[in-house]
Structure 1
Amino acid sequence: MLIAVLVAGALALLFLGFEMLIVLGIPGILTKEFFFSGMPDLIYGQRIVGGINHSTLLAIPFFIFAAEIMSKGVIARHLIQLVGAFLGHRRGGMGLTTVAAAAAFGSVSGSAPATVAALAGIVYPEMQRQGYSDKFSLGLIVSSAEVSLLIPPSITLIIYAWLTGTSVAALFAAGLVVGLFLAGVFCCYVLFYAYRHGIKGDAPLSWGERLKVVGRGIWALGLPVVLLGGIYSGLFTPTEAAAVSVAYALIVEVLIYRHMKLGDVFKVATGAAVTTGTIFVLLAMGSIVAYFITLAQLPTLVIDFLGAIDANWVMFLLIVNLLFLVAGMFIDPNSTMLILVPALYPVAVSFGIDPIHFGIIVCLNTCIGMITPPFGLDIFVASSTLGESVGKIISGIFPFVVVNLLALLVITYLPEISMFLPRMLAP
């Protein structure tokens, strides 16, 4: 009965058009008032404050701030030029450059919307110039940004680590491998499209010209090297790496490239603060939902149900993928995780699924949710950035959704892909 109230209340508020803050918060309040009326009201404050009072979450505002600095500055442009200098002359060169640049920018931002906003205006006209259709170009730009949610520093993986207590560094190692795997899958599709439509690259640059591009972009490339090298060498923790990313981005944009003034930094900080506040309000409300899910013993009910139908881990992961795919069509990724992970994570552990592998499956599902209509967030970011209609972007995304689903099945049922690097780095 309690679960029915939670689910029915959330669905009703969602379809009535309320913000996710209300969708997550009101059902929790009603659950407490009707089913745990003897519980003191102080529990709300305790769960809200205690839920987000976690050192792991300190990385999120830093990475958001760093992403805002880079998307408003010139680091993204230099990364694209650097990648294009070595890939732009190959068949399908600009498509390959788009995927590689999204991976590079994702390795310093951890945010798919920031990646779309930073890259779309630069690569879209270049892809059109090389002969790619508008629909394919839009689909590739929006889909490539997904890699940002997998390649460290991934904000999505940080939230999963907070929800489950899984090692952030181990999740980052797995996310790096799977992010590169997904980027490779996109590159294969780009090459298939380029050969089919006769799209060739630009004239190759001389090595002297390439060295000049490297000289201009070396500072932009230095950030992922500092972040990933620092984390995996043990020089600093992921949270400390987040603070380092902000300091590095500020130094590069303000003092080296001199694209930003101090007044611009204040404006960027304001935007980052709004984004951070939005995420943390959702996390706080989600902690209340997770608390009542635990009290209702929902994971135990799910385990009993799966046992009754004689389900195995293969069927369970198929159910997980279907749940996340449907939820991703209507709910933002963070809210999807806050609702589903507390209920499904204990079940995954009971089936012997490694928490790191399960986290990668969850993260890849949220990536797909970012591009699936009707409410994929990256679709609207691209529409706003490029001035293209949402319908046009959606029509270009469908082939990439199919590619994503094939990649999801491979990652889901071949856990060694996501697990071999974390095992290699384990002490």
Structure 2
Amino acid sequence: MVLVLFFSFLVLLFLGIPVAFSLGLSSFIYVLSADIPLIIIPQKMYTGIDSFVLLCIPGFVLAGNLMNRGGITERIIDFSNALVGHIRGGLGLANIGASMIFAGISGTALADTASIGAIMIPAMEKEGYEVDFSAAVTASSSTIGPIIPPSLPMIIAGTLTGISVSKLFVAGAIPGFLLGIGLMIVSYYISRKRKHPKGARKSVKEIGKTFYGAFWAILMTIVILVGILGGIFTPTEASAVAVVYALVVGLFIYKELKIRDLPKIIVESMVTTASIMILVGFASLFAWIMASEQIPQMVADLMLGISNNKYVILILVNLLLLFVGTFMETISALLILFPVLLKVVTAVGVDPIQFAIIAVLNLVIGLTTPPVGVCLFVASSIGKISLGKIAKAILPFLAVSLVVLVLVTFVPQISLFLPNLLYGK
């Protein structure tokens, strides 16, 4: 029966059916084949999405859309450019810096690529940067979004396993910062080598002006983090605060958000949220089937049969997640694999919070690798270049991402220092 489940799932994926419906249809086929009452399907789907923590997904999605439509993206880019635009290849550095700030609002890589890329890729091309380099910088830096809090993948990981979402948010801060700095170093090196242009140095007054423009975006991230860390509100309540904050800033401070824009923004956020919730529901059914067939235990026994050494297991898990990330979307892969692999790594003494960061980082790297690197597709579409060209240009940035992944894997304190400091071991 297990073969029926996995064979049908792989065939449906191969036919190009979206992952959510591939999960649902393969589970339906299994339930029919195993003569299980069909009522189990809605029951397990509802159980999967019946979580208070998951309520923060529509909140953060809506807040991000409100801030983006309210003119926040341009102001973040202006501030980043004012700080580093005078350096050789400054627009590339500004692109990455803007992604680091935007990560504290959107929580998703795709939103980062689409929003910042739509402005920065044409601007960099106009200033004399190669379009493949511009698109590669945009796509690679967008992977910072799911690492720096808030993060939708970390919300999913926490919901699946009962790990504190607040601790996961905090744990992502240092790895996200390291990833951003690493990408900046590579971008600067390439820019020096290719003699990319640099802009005029901005005065303190000009920097202050652009900082004021981006201040409300930066403050939003601070409010969310301080509120969660200080125990003032939960991540779900923080998402509601973020929505109210975004409305006030967009309507009354930036004044670029109009009342007539709200219905369209709400509908877009509903569609995004619905697609995530359908995926969570079907994946919960799929996961229940795997658990009933003792698949997690079989995988754990198989890996632990190869070695009981923590570092060997981590290497094997990283290789598996990197491979899966090349053809499966982040949240889908997390829903299917994270609970299974968590059982394996905790058996050899890996901290669950550290592993959550490892898993998310592995899978977001897949967003910039063919054949299903959605950020690559979006960036290549904006830059009007082939997937082959951007895939080649992104290789140095992928190398840096892998270095950060190695550090996070083998130096636990990178992801555990802040949670232990703030919450205790």
- TM-score, normalised on structure 2? 0.95
- Tell me if 1:26 matches 2:30: no
Equivalenced residue count is: 424
CA deviation vs aligned residue, 1:33-75 (integer Å, no higher than 9, x gap)? 333x2x4322111101111000110110111111222233310
Spell out the pairing of 1:236-251 with structure 2 (5 A cutoff): 236-251=233-248
Spell out the pairing of 1:187-226 with structure 2 (5 A cutoff): 187-199=184-196, 201-226=198-223
Distance in 2, matches of 1:109 and 1:22, equals: 26
Match of 1:293 in 2: 290
Q: Is the 8 A contact 1:71 1:114 kept in 2?
A: no
Q: How large is the RMSD of aligned CA atoms in angstroms?
A: 1.7
- 2:251 pairs, out of 254, 257, 276, with 254
CA deviation vs aligned residue, 1:112-163 (integer Å, no higher than 9, x gap)? 1111111112222333355432211111100100000100000010000011
- 1:70 pairs, out of 42, 57, 67, with 67
CA deviation vs aligned residue, 1:288-322 (integer Å, no higher than 9, x gap)? 01111111112221232233333422222222222
1:152 is aligned with what amino acid?
P
Select between 124-133 and 50-59 the one with higher mean Cα deviation.
124-133
Distance in 2, matches of 1:33 and 1:121, equals: 46
Query: Which residues of structure 1 form unaligned runs of 5+?
Result: none
Percent of aligned pairs with the same amino acid: 38
Q: After TM superposition, give the deviation of residue 28 of structure 1 in Å.
A: 1.6
Distance in 2, matches of 1:136 and 1:20, equals: 31
Q: After TM superposition, give the deviation of residue 24 of structure 1 in Å.
A: 0.5
Q: After TM superposition, give the deviation of residue 287 of structure 1 in Å.
A: 0.2
Query: Which residues of structure 2 form unaligned runs of 5+?
Result: none
Select between 306-315 and 414-423 the one with higher mean Cα deviation.
306-315
Spell out the pairing of 1:17-56 with structure 2 (5 A cutoff): 17-35=16-34, 37=35, 39-56=36-53
1:4 is aligned with what amino acid?
L
Q: Is the 8 A contact 2:135 2:383 kept in 1?
A: no
Distance in 2, matches of 1:253 and 1:307, equals: 53
Match of 1:9 in 2: 8
- 1:183 pairs, out of 144, 167, 180, with 180
Distance in 2, matches of 1:179 and 1:210, equals: 24
CA deviation vs aligned residue, 1:143-201 (integer Å, no higher than 9, x gap)? 10000010000001000001111000110111111111111111111121122223353
Distance in 2, matches of 1:304 and 1:110, equals: 35
Distance in 1, matches of 2:194 and 2:245, equals: 42
Distance in 2, matches of 1:398 and 1:225, equals: 33
Q: After TM superposition, give the deviation of residue 351 of structure 1 in Å.
A: 1.4
Q: After TM superposition, give the deviation of residue 21 of structure 1 in Å.
A: 2.4
1:280 is aligned with what amino acid?
M
Spell out the pairing of 1:26-425 with structure 2 (5 A cutoff): 26-35=25-34, 37=35, 39-199=36-196, 201-425=198-422
Q: After TM superposition, give the deviation of residue 248 of structure 1 in Å.
A: 1.1
Change (3 A) 1:300 1:216: closer
Distance in 1, matches of 2:72 and 2:54, equals: 25
Q: Is the 8 A contact 2:70 2:251 kept in 1?
A: no
Q: Is the 8 A contact 2:135 2:380 kept in 1?
A: no
Change (3 A) 1:264 1:213: same
Distance in 1, matches of 2:202 and 2:80, equals: 12
Q: Is the 8 A contact 1:71 1:115 kept in 2?
A: no
Distance in 1, matches of 2:309 and 2:183, equals: 31
